[in-house]
A = this chain, B = another copy of it.
Amino acid sequence: MPQHVVSVGVDLLAQAVEDQAAAVSRVDWRPPMPGTEDDLAAVALDPLHPDADALALGRMLGVQALLVDVLPAHEAIGLERGEFLHAGPPITWERASGPLRGALMGAAVLEGLVDTPEEAASLLEGGLHVHLEPCHHRRSVGPMAGVVTPSMWMFVLEDPSTGARTHCTLNEGLGKVLRYGAYAPEVLERLRWMGDVLGPLLQRAVRATPDPLDVTAILGQMLQMGDEAHNRNRAGTLMFLRDLAPAMVGSGADAADVAEALRFVGGNDHFFLNLAMPACKLALDAARGIDGSTMVVAMARNGTDFGIQVSGTGDQWFTGPAGVPDGLYLGDYGPDDANPDIGDSAITETSGIGGMAMAAAPAIVKFVGGEVGDALAATRAMYEITLGEHTAYQVPILGFRGTPTGVDVTAVVRTGVLPNINTGIAGKVAGTGQVGAGLVSPPAVCFTDAIEALAQAVPTD
């Protein structure tokens, strides 16, 4: 390399990017969210607070997520006939949006509870023999509608140091799929193949692979390969194939089934999302329930409400209306077709990847919109509202700086800067499927309500 090239170090670049972020913050500086001054002051005086946040962050960063099994939901998490898990905070059928309703209807047919999606609507509306519950309440996460029923196969992730486990279904692909609210015959046919062929095959492969797939390590690699692990999971999906394919071949399964499974996984760049998500939940679950910590441990949407949970306030949800993402649309779809924000996938941002790590994945702007500079600026801005930098997830273009990790309720409220989430967009009419992808933020009220609860929880002498 010519000397005049070698002489340019990373400092200049870092400074240039820093300058941009600073300029942005100056222009758009905002005061603390209105009415939060007293709550911020109370939390600031909490002697537990700094150590609690350090503990929460440290516990999250200490988790290693290994893929240890693949099981039907009834075995993995004891899901019973008539039980339906869904994404986001708790919700009833009456308040459910189109894509969540569509996914529930399709799943009811899949489980044989009814013969047609239309009959399912009556069943679910009556609510007599069905039970809706958030994935998050069952050590699980679900992308988009996030509907899980007993026969669906799930990845089982485990932290070897504690034995803690989390779960997520297998990814169906894009377009007309159940998690986006579609329930056409081909959607159910694909799900049946996943249950009959793909799930059992992956189970045999996972059980036969000598070293369990280290999802945390793969996530770290993905960020060096242009993925941010929410809407770009290309490299992750490819590494999954690389690591599991030999055992799939050696599983004794029919060669045609193995070839079809390899084609199915290889044909879906988002396949790894359903491993990234439970890995993030596993990390964040370790940080739950620490008195005095203002770190967010879950951000999730059910298509109607956006909800967050915070380490220092137990399992309480702080909710507000889900916004409509701003992004790019598929085919002839447009903003009028978009459902409000939906899915547990914001667990990725909660854990320092996805919208927090867009600087590692500049090509994502072709999927969610914006320019490359936006992707860099988005990550830089998130350092303002996070507790630390991830030790396993680094951004090469920022000189291998760790991603902004651990959303801090106090920092969000104090700066008015909301977490940046990138996400798929579901059609608002049940049965439609995906219509686009874009960017969205949680409603501020989640954080103002959370800071109020955190302030009330500060011990008084």
Contacts and interface: CB of A to CB of B under 8 A. Distances in A.
A13 B372 contact: yes
Contacts of A2: 28, 381, 417-418, 420, 441
Contacts of A234: 225, 235
Contact of A5 (B19, B24, B260): B24
Interface stretch (A121-129, A173-181, A242-250): A242-250
B371 A10 contact: yes
B24 A13 contact: no
Main secondary structure of the interface of A (DSSP, over half): helix
A9 interface: yes
A98 interface: no
Interface stretch (A61-69, A109-117, A306-314, A392-400): A392-400
A440 interface: yes
B1 A12 contact: no
B24 A381 contact: no
A457 interface: no
Number of copies: 2
A226 interface: yes
Interface stretch (A43-51, A147-155, A251-259): A251-259
Nearest to A400: B372
A249 B9 CA distance: 47
Nearest to A8: B377
A364 to B, nearest CB: 9
A400 B364 CA distance: 12
Interface in A387-417: 396-400, 417
Interface of A: 1-14, 16-17, 19-20, 23-25, 27-28, 224-227, 234-235, 238-239, 241-243, 245-247, 249-250, 255-256, 258-260, 262-263, 266, 326, 355, 362-363, 370-374, 376-378, 381, 396-400, 417-418, 420, 422, 439-441
A250 B241 contact: no
26 contacts: A1-B326, A3-B28, A4-B381, A5-B374, A5-B378, A5-B420, A6-B374, A7-B28, A8-B20, A8-B23, A12-B373, A13-B372, A16-B19, A224-B363, A225-B226, A225-B235, A226-B226, A226-B235, A238-B238, A246-B260, A246-B262, A249-B255, A249-B259, A250-B255, A250-B259, A372-B398
Given A1-B374, A8-B24, A371-B9, A249 B249 contact: yes
Contacts of A225: 225-227, 234-235, 363
A318 B13 CA distance: 37
Nearest to A239: B238
A266 B246 contact: yes
Nearest to A379: B5
A57 to B, nearest CB: 23
A262 B5 CA distance: 39
Contacts of A249: 249, 255, 258-259, 262
A266 to B, nearest CB: 4
Contacts of A4: 24-25, 27-28, 381, 417
Contact of A374 (B8, B25, B227, B246): B8
